Amino acid sequence: MSLAGKVCLITGAAGGLGSATARRLAADGVRLVLTDVDGGRLAALAEDLPVETVVHAGDVSVEADVDAAVAAGVAAFGRIDLHHLNAGVPGPLVRLPELSVADWDRVLGINLRGAFLGVRAAFRQYEVQRSGGAIVLTASIASLRASDDLLAYHASKHGVLGLLKGAALYGGPIGVRVNAVAPGIVPTALFAGAGDGPGGGDDMARRAATTPLRRPGTGDEIASVVAFLLGEGAAYMTGETVSVDGGAAAV
């Protein structure tokens, strides 16, 4: 059941959840291809990891950057077995009439177009390798619910589930599994931009305290489910979204 020796590409790897997956997989002996727009933090993370790691700075919404990250991984390791397509940004917290086209395009561009480009690049490589593969997308509790002040984020994360289902249908017959993890609230830089106001860290802590488990999650608690979905323990799972949210989606 071990993932040791496999190669995994992680997007948004410099961030809270991406770096948690990187550390978790590195502890399991997985070699890593790490990508993020923040090349400086990527390099610092890679220095800390006990496995062979390739870093590639790039933007998930730019086709050439996504393809170049896969090419860098293949150049270093000869193959890529697993993908955690995780990069994402929060939406602006505004009411529907105030949501700008620029913000809509930016959030959909990174969270949904970026996920599409990552899935497509993964499949193109898997079809060359002809030995199956596994992809985990980072969805969100916002993939399953909506609110009236975070429309672009909700639309992008609902879209990720449509992408997931179509990709799982395509991948099944060629041995590629595609699943998603749907985190609830995990304190990361994702909430830093909103300060202490609505959508900020304090607001999220208050919301987390009302979930059945009465606390926010940790990056490690998301990463362990990502590792499970990537591994042989999930061999009969595809097209599935697993909530890791302290029970928030259940109530």
Which residues here bind ligand NAD, judged by CB under 6 A? 11-12, 14-18, 36-38, 59-61, 86-89, 110, 138, 140, 183, 185-186, 188-190
Looking at beta carbons only, is 123 or 153 nearer to ligand NAD? 153
Distance from C-alpha of 82 to C-alpha of 234, rounded to nearest angstrom: 13
Q: Which of 46, 49, 59, 54 is nearest to 73 (CA)?
A: 54
Exactly one of 126, 153, 170, 236 is catalytic; which is it? 153
Cβ at position 37, least distance to ligand NAD in Å: 4
Three-state DSSP class for 109? helix
DSSP 248: G
Residue among 17 and 134 whose Cβ is closer to ligand NAD = 17
Q: In whole angstroms, how close is the CB of 194 to ligand NAD at the nearest point?
A: 12
Q: How far is the CB of 8 from ligand NAD (least distance, A)?
A: 16
Minimal distance, residue 13 CB to ligand NAD, in Å: 7
Sequence-ordered alpha helix ranges (H) in the chain: 16-27, 39-48, 63-77, 101-108, 114-129, 151-171, 201-208, 219-230
Q: Is 153 helix (H, G, I), strand (E, B) or coil?
A: helix
Alpha carbons within 13 angstroms on the beta-carbon side of residue 46 total 20
The span from the first CA to the last CA of the chain, in angstroms, equals 33
Residue closer to ligand NAD, measured from CB, 59 or 81 = 59
* Residue 227 DSSP label: H
Element (H, E) at 178: strand 176-183
Nearest residue to ligand NAD on Cβ basis: 15
Closer of 132 and 212 to ligand NAD (Cβ): 212
> Is 126 a catalytic site residue?
no
Which two structure tokens, joined as six digits, stand for 219? 């990056």
Using the minimum distance from each CB to ligand NAD, give the nearer residue, 18 or 133.
18
Least CB distance from residue 143 to ligand NAD, whole Å?
Answer: 8
Question: Catalytic residue positions?
Answer: 153
